[in-house]
Amino acid sequence: MNRIIRASAPAKVNLVFEVGQLASDGYHPVNSLFLALDLREELTLVKGATGTGISIYVHGESIPDTHIKAVPTDHNNLVHKTAVLFAAKLGKATPDLQIDIHKRIPVAGGMAGGSADAAAMLIAMNEFMHQEHGTERLSIDELALIGAELGSDVPFCIYGGMAIGTGLGEVISPLEDLDFETNWLLCASSRGLSTPTVFAEFDEIGKHSPFTDLSEFASISSAEELGMRMTNDLEQAAFSLMPALSQLVEQLEQLGAVRAMVSGSGPTIAALFDSEAKAIEVSEVLRSQGLVALTSKGLAQGARLDS
Ligand code: ATP
């Protein structure tokens, strides 16, 4: 019987997202503080019948159907690209695989959903190739290096916890874990925002901040202090592309969030609460207005094999 390999990886929020000026290579350098949340993508891998290639099935009940339908199931899926790249790195042919992706992270929402899938796939492939082809398992650092070729958020999804991301966000410096639990409400939008469009709008606005030292965040001891220090350079760009987002941020803070902010390039709004009960209570208010509101905790472990 075919062995089943299960792996999962976390969503991220950027507690701080400082974006530099567009460089000549067409990319923006960033200085980012990532936090992993216990909203996990779950991936299941089984060997496919010989010659059937890679089949991908995507499902998820907690996010809108429009999100699930926006995920490609062909070679454009990041998980497909991960399988091809990983096998090539080991000098092997791409194996026949059946992959099931249980999505919990809003799609195109600035929470690294596709990157989490790629991170989980790297962990799963590492195990699959070891079991099927006897290849040596790569270390987490080696997997993160391969992950950086797939997307700049992939290395963080592999490490999890809390970390500073520099370069394009793919150079990860882990920080010590916060010594308190953070409670989040994530309000997803029914339509996504494309990351390049948000960066283009950011360039149009033309306001860059200097990069700051983010290492002190590890000593923060309360949600209030954390909330006061959260910033996102892309927030104005996301507001200008989707003006309803700024009203949602205001509403969440009026309803009791310590701080609400666009997550990464948006349009998901991440709202920090000082208790789980309050986050749940406000999520129910938003749901009664027809919005998609998920609750989650930070910080969370990076990509891992699950039993
Ligand atoms: P980030 O926060 O890393 O910028 P995001 O969370 O905003 O990313 P994703 O959910 O990763 O965005 O999806 C961006 C696009 O990538 C989707 O619109 C989809 O077309 C494509 N995509 C490819 N593979 C996947 C995948 N496994 N899951 C989600 N989207 C994928």
DSSP 149-211: HH-TTHHHHHHBSEEEEETTTTEEEE-PPPSS-EEEEEEE-SS---HHHHHHHHHHHT-----
In a domain, 264, yes or no: yes
Same domain, 22 and 162: yes
Query: pTM of this prediction?
Result: 0.95
Give the integer Cα–Cα distance in Å for 302 and 159.
5
Does a structural domain hold residue 101?
yes
The residue contributing the CA closest to ligand 1 atom 11 is: 114
pLDDT at 207: 82
Task: Identify the pLDDT of residue 30.
Answer: 95
Q: Is 113 in the pocket of ligand 1 (CB under 6 A)?
A: yes
Q: Whose CA is nearest to atom 13 of ligand 1?
A: 108
Asked if 150 and 78 count as a contact pair (C-beta separation under 8 A), the reply is: yes
Domain stops at, among 146, 174, 202: 174
Give distance in angstroms: CA of 72 to centre of ligand 1: 9
Q: Verify whether ligand 1 is closer than 6 Å to residue 266 (CB atom).
A: no
CA gap 239, 221 in Å, rounded: 30
Ligand 1 pocket member 107 (CB < 6 A): yes
- Which of 126, 145, 174 terminates a domain? The answer is 174
Pair 116, 213 in one domain: no
Return d(Cα 9, Cα 147) in angstroms, integer: 13
Contacts of 162 (CB under 8 A, 6+ apart): 15, 33, 34, 35, 36, 174, 175, 176, 177, 178, 217, 218, 298, 299
* Kind of pairing between the strands at 5-19 and 231-232: parallel
Report which protein residue has its CA nearest ligand 1's atom 3.
Answer: 112
CA angle, corner 169, sides to 168 and 174, nearest 5? 150
**Where in the sequence numbering do the catalytic residues fall?**
12, 153
Give yes or no: residues 154 and 189 share one domain: no
Do 15 and 161 sit in the same domain of this protein?
yes
pLDDT value, residue 114: 97
User: How many domains does the chain fold into?
Assistant: 2
Question: Does residue 304 belong to any structural domain of this protein?
Answer: no
56, 19: one domain: yes
Question: Would you call the peptide bond into 299 cis, given omega within 30 degrees of 0 as the criterion?
Answer: yes
Pocket test for ligand 1, best of 34, 37, 75, 78 (most atoms within 8 A of CB): 78
Cross-strand partners of 47: 97
Residue 41 lies in a domain: yes
Any domain includes 38: yes
pLDDT the model gives residue 1:
61
- Asked if 24 and 160 sit in the same domain, the reply is yes
Give CA–CA dist 159/148, Å, rounded: 12
Shared domain check, 229 and 161: no
- The DSSP bridge partners found for residue 97 are 47, 54
| Any domain includes 170 | yes
Query: Do residue 38 and residue 169 come from a single domain?
Result: yes
Question: Which residues span the domain enclosing 291?
Answer: 182-298
Q: Which of 174, 203, 231 is the last residue of a domain?
A: 174
Q: Ligand 1: distance of its center to the CA of 169 in Å?
A: 16
Measuring from atom 29 of ligand 1, which residue has the nearest CA? 114
Rounded distance between C-alpha atoms, residue 7 and residue 106, angstroms:
19
> Could you give the CA distance from residue 2 to residue 50 in angstroms, rounded to a whole number?
13
- At 2 the pLDDT is 75
- 18, two tokens: 């400082």
Does 115 share its domain with 155? Answer: yes
User: Measured between alpha carbons, how far is 208 from 201 in angstroms, rounded to an integer?
Assistant: 12
Q: What is the pLDDT of residue 78?
A: 98
> In this predicted structure, what is the pLDDT of residue 214?
97
Protein residue closest via CA to atom 23 of ligand 1: 77
> Is 123 in the same domain as 229?
no
What pLDDT does 195 receive? 87
Where residue 266 sits, what CATH number does that domain have?
3.30.70.890
Cβ of 109 below 6 Å from ligand 1 = yes
Q: Is residue 267 part of a domain?
A: yes
101 neighbors 43 (Cβ within 8 angstroms): yes
Q: What is the pLDDT of residue 192?
A: 78
**CATH code of the domain containing 119:** 3.30.230.10
Q: Are residues 203 and 140 in the same domain?
A: no
The terminus-to-terminus CA distance of the chain in angstroms comes to 17
Digitized pLDDT (tens) for each residue of the chain, 307 residues in all: 678 999 999 999 999 999 999 999 999 999 999 999 999 999 999 999 999 999 999 999 999 899 999 999 999 999 999 999 999 999 999 999 999 999 999 988 889 999 999 999 999 999 999 999 999 999 999 999 999 999 999 999 999 999 999 999 999 999 999 999 999 999 988 777 888 999 999 999 988 879 999 999 999 999 999 999 999 999 999 999 999 999 999 999 999 999 999 999 989 999 999 999 999 999 999 999 989 999 999 999 999 999 8
Cβ of residue 267 lying under 6 Å from some atom of ligand 1: no
The answer to the question of residue 27 being in a domain is yes
Same domain? 144 vs 207: no
